Chain A
Amino acid sequence: MPTSKTLYRWSGYLFMLPYLLAFAAFLVAPLLFGIGLSFYRWEMLSPVPPQWHGLGNYSEALTDTYFWKAVWATLRFVIMQVPLNIGLALLIALAVNEIPRGAQAFFRASFFFPTIVSISVAGILWRWFYSSEFGLFNAFLSPFGWKAPWITDPAWAMKSIVMMTLWWTVGGAFVILLAGLHQIPAHYYEAAAIDGANVFQRFINVTIPSLRPVLLFVVVMNIIGSFQVFGQTFMITRGGPEHSTRSLVQYIYDQAFGNYRMGYGAAMSWLLFVIIAVISFAQFRIMREER
């Protein structure tokens, strides 16, 4: 039986153990396994065992038209979603920040509420809303003679996904930005007002610089999350029409768990990792230099 002294010494690790075990089993081990896997040609339904394929999976991805189509779809989503999401969240946060603190709780909860809805539920709902012939949105538009091809036209589909994502996720960024706004001392604004700064100047010269660390966090997390977009496109459009909303994560899923090409799926996952890592690193550098 361990002595109390030994137990005491190890107690911290013991408390961490459940999480560490889960972390090692479900994150570190698959990550390492995935690296190895990406160098193998392993098709699970094939009667032959995995074969060493070197960089073959990577070179296949780089010449795969569907891979690049998925990269482009993901990029389009990121480019549209991130600025809109953060801009809208900031706008709402600024507006809510102007009302008395006691009343803010209601708005905080209201805007945050969609975030807690599961993507399966939200996805099915919005798919029905977007239905061109029989959906809710077009039912509202039809008295005016309009009918939008929300998710049936490749030119519209990704924009519709972005719109749904804004509804679903803007609350998360809004809550963080509102908390950031609360941290800005009121006397900064008072000093700026005394110096004659108008509302816009106060926003540019006080709010934005003071919010920078929070903004950096929100932007980086938003970009990483956006590159991993899957649930919305999977539930609403299944990647269609004509693969126009098939994100890279969905393509990886399709290859790995639809066609059981584990090696190829792992290689594309690592390519996605590299893309996200490069962009996040660049972002940190830019924000740090600005500071």
Chain B
Amino acid sequence: MGLGGVGANVSARPPQNNNHAAAPRADGWRSIDAITGKAWFWFALVVILCAAPYAAYQAVQLSGGGNVTIRYWNGFTGPDGRTMLRLVRRFERENPGISVVMQRIDWATYYNKLFVAGIGDRAPDLFVLHADMTPRFQQAGFMKTMDHMFSPEWGMSLADFDDNVTRYQKVGGCYYGIPLDIHMFGLYYNKKLFREAGIVDKRGEARPPQTSGEFLDAARRLTKPPRWGFVFTWMRNVAYTMMLQWGGAFFENDGAKCVMNNPENVTAMSFCRDLIAKYKVAPSPENFDAWIGFRQGKVGMVLEGVWMLADLKKQTDLEYGGAPVPQFGPRQADFTSAHVLCMRKGLDGRKLDAVSRLVKFLSDNSLDWAEGGQVPARRSLRETPRFRAMEPQWQFSRQIPYVSFHPFTPMFGEYTSELDYMAERVLRGTATPEEALKTAQDKINEALERRRQMLERGGKL
């Protein structure tokens, strides 16, 4: 059918004679005039028949009968997503009458979508947050407290969680998230390269470094370009771990003022830069892709999150080990985060009961979750022989007593992006640690001041 034909038919005046109008057109199509009353009747009938089951479903839902459907969102798009899906399917089998619609969204866009859904009153019933995001999302007002999970009815014990892990979940005296796991940084090392470099224990096994001196010694012996002793992958969190180890402060007055430009942080960042410029055991930082170098067997050591285990488990030709982050500074410290399970505001009745049951199930079975490359948040599960047998996870979990989340600040986005920029400038050598830390501190304080003004104008100060 040519375009000219269509144009001619549409632009012509309608024929006056209905009999003529109903006649088939030369191109084989029926004119719109040919749609008879009978056709309209059938069309309406089809629409009604299609809509009826949905209306019936809604009626059953409203009357309190039928299945309960839980909408569950998370950012587990990697192998961890398959582990979570298996858990959810098992939950459905064990809980007839409850179905779970799980949506996995890449973390890069997950928070945007979750946030927009939340403020539009369309938040999923259950969703996963990183622990340090809870205060920000709680402030936005679409989260439900989860204190009831610690009641005798649900039987979860607050004492089963480490205090430094649950602290972030407590806002205004109420808990808004149940930690599912703890995912901290740790040291991954290439056992084969270690043995070749003679960094072994008495049994001839690769011996991961525990102190700054041991780390530098190992890194020097492993570095033979193009092979590197160490690489920076996620600069922000390596830098943060180092600054924690030197005891540097970040904020004062409950996050109201940034004070990160201090001598401790300067020393920590200088040490990071020295690994590249002075000791020459690490290349200039790339981005996260330096991790590929470790997977290719071209890097001896890397500091990365426990979640990267899922990536390594797929690889059969790499002999790797996991160990706590060595002590570089005067004290032990390590960056961590955690996945926490959160509920939307307004849940009640059967839905609340079903979601609570799912939260309890996931928490009770978090050892299955840990298999994929996580550390369970519950102490009682970490003490089981099964977890002890998960070698890298168990090694990483030894750091729990001294792990730290990023500091609380209402301007978390600004804080993390400035931390990224600061670490990048120092590691590349384009700014001294003092300059870079000062810029970051000033920028974060600008953002805090903007917020203060906004709250003042809004009568919230």
B18 within 8 A of A: yes
Q: Which of A184-192, A199-207, A237-245 contacts B (4 or more CB under 8 A)?
A: A237-245
Cα(A134)–Cα(B297), bound, Å: 10
Contact between A47 and B460, CB atoms less than 8 A apart: yes
Contact between B33 and A4, CB atoms less than 8 A apart: yes
Contact between A134 and B454, CB atoms less than 8 A apart: no
**Closest CB-CB distance, B255 to chain A, in whole Å?**
14
Q: Which residues of A contact B287 (CB under 8 A)?
A: 127, 151, 237-238, 240
Within 8 A of B (CB), among A35-91: 41, 43-49, 51
Chain B residue at minimal CB-CB distance from A5: B14
Q: Which residues of B contact A242 (CB under 8 A)?
A: 421, 424-425, 428, 430
Query: How many residues of chain A get a CB closer than 8 Å to chain B's CBs?
Result: 40
B321 within 8 A of A: no
Cα(A243)–Cα(B431), bound, Å: 14
Cα(A11)–Cα(B30), bound, Å: 14
Within 8 A of B (CB), among A9-25: 9, 11-12
A1 within 8 A of B: yes
Chain A residue at minimal CB-CB distance from B225: A133
Do A240 and B454 form a contact, CB below 8 Å, given A133-B290, A134-B290? no
Contact between A257 and B112, CB atoms less than 8 A apart: yes
Q: Which residues of A contact B292 (CB under 8 A)?
A: 128, 131, 134
Interface of chain A, main secondary structure: loop
Within 8 A of A (CB), among B205-220: none
Q: Which residues of A contact B14 (CB under 8 A)?
A: 4-5, 8-9
Of the candidates A43, A132, A257, the one whose C-beta lies within 8 Å of that of B454 is A43
Within 8 A of B (CB), among A136-152: 142, 149, 151-152
* Number of A-B residue pairs at CB separation under 8 A: 112
A196 within 8 A of B: no
Chain A residue at minimal CB-CB distance from B458: A48
**Closest CB-CB distance, B171 to chain A, in whole Å?**
12
Cα(A100)–Cα(B85), bound, Å: 56
Cα(A259)–Cα(B455), bound, Å: 16
Interface of chain B, main secondary structure: helix
A277 within 8 A of B: no
Cα(A49)–Cα(B460), bound, Å: 11
Cα(A5)–Cα(B18), bound, Å: 9
Within 8 A of A (CB), among B8-50: 10, 14, 18, 21, 32-33, 35, 37, 40
A7 within 8 A of B: yes
**Closest CB-CB distance, B359 to chain A, in whole Å?**
24
**Closest CB-CB distance, A222 to chain B, in whole Å?**
28
Do A243 and B32 form a contact, CB below 8 Å, given A44-B119, A132-B286? no
Contact between B451 and A134, CB atoms less than 8 A apart: no
Q: Which of B123-131, B325-333, B385-393, B410-418 contacts A (4 or more CB under 8 A)?
A: B410-418
Would you give the 0/1 interface string for B429-456, flagging 1 where the beta carbon is closer than 8 Å to chain A?
A: 0100000000000000001000100110
Contact between B289 and A258, CB atoms less than 8 A apart: no
**Closest CB-CB distance, A169 to chain B, in whole Å?**
23
Q: Which residues of A contact B457 (CB under 8 A)?
A: 48, 51
Contact between A134 and B289, CB atoms less than 8 A apart: yes
Within 8 A of B (CB), among A207-257: 237-238, 240-243, 254, 257
Of the candidates A44, A142, A149, the one whose C-beta lies within 8 Å of that of B226 is A142
Contact between A46 and B289, CB atoms less than 8 A apart: no
**Closest CB-CB distance, B457 to chain A, in whole Å?**
6
Of the candidates B139, B421, B454, the one whose C-beta lies within 8 Å of that of A51 is B454
Q: Which residues of B contact A167 (CB under 8 A)?
A: none
Do A7 and B33 form a contact, CB below 8 Å, given A48-B457, A254-B417, A259-B411? yes
Cα(A149)–Cα(B285), bound, Å: 11
A260 within 8 A of B: yes
Would you give the 0/1 interface string for A158-169, flagging 1 where the beta carbon is closer than 8 Å to chain B?
A: 000000000000
Q: Which residues of B contact A240 (CB under 8 A)?
A: 287, 424
Contact between A133 and B33, CB atoms less than 8 A apart: no
Contact between A48 and B460, CB atoms less than 8 A apart: yes
Contact between A4 and B21, CB atoms less than 8 A apart: yes
Contact between B455 and A152, CB atoms less than 8 A apart: no
Would you give the 0/1 interface string for B271-290, flagging 1 where the beta carbon is closer than 8 Å to chain A?
A: 00000000000011111011
Cα(A9)–Cα(B296), bound, Å: 68
Q: Kindly list 20 other residue pairs between chains A and B, CB separation below 8 angstroms, not including A4-B32, A133-B290, A134-B296.
A: A4-B18, A8-B14, A8-B33, A44-B115, A45-B137, A48-B455, A48-B457, A127-B287, A128-B289, A132-B284, A133-B226, A134-B290, A134-B298, A240-B287, A242-B424, A242-B428, A242-B430, A243-B421, A259-B413, A260-B115
A/B interface sample: 18 pairs, CB < 8 A? A1-B37, A4-B33, A7-B33, A8-B14, A8-B21, A44-B140, A45-B115, A46-B410, A46-B454, A47-B139, A48-B454, A48-B458, A48-B459, A133-B290, A135-B289, A151-B287, A152-B284, A237-B287
Residues of B at the A interface (CB closer than 8 Å) are 10, 14, 18, 21, 32-33, 35, 37, 40, 112, 115, 119, 136-137, 139-141, 226, 228, 231, 283-287, 289-290, 292-293, 296, 298, 410-411, 413-414, 417, 421, 424-425, 428, 430, 447, 451, 454-455, 457-460
Residues of A at the B interface (CB closer than 8 Å) are 1, 4-5, 7-9, 11-12, 41, 43-49, 51, 127-128, 131-135, 142, 149, 151-152, 154, 237-238, 240-243, 254, 257-260
**Smallest CB-CB A-B distances: 4 pairs:** A48-B458, A259-B413, A8-B14, A4-B33
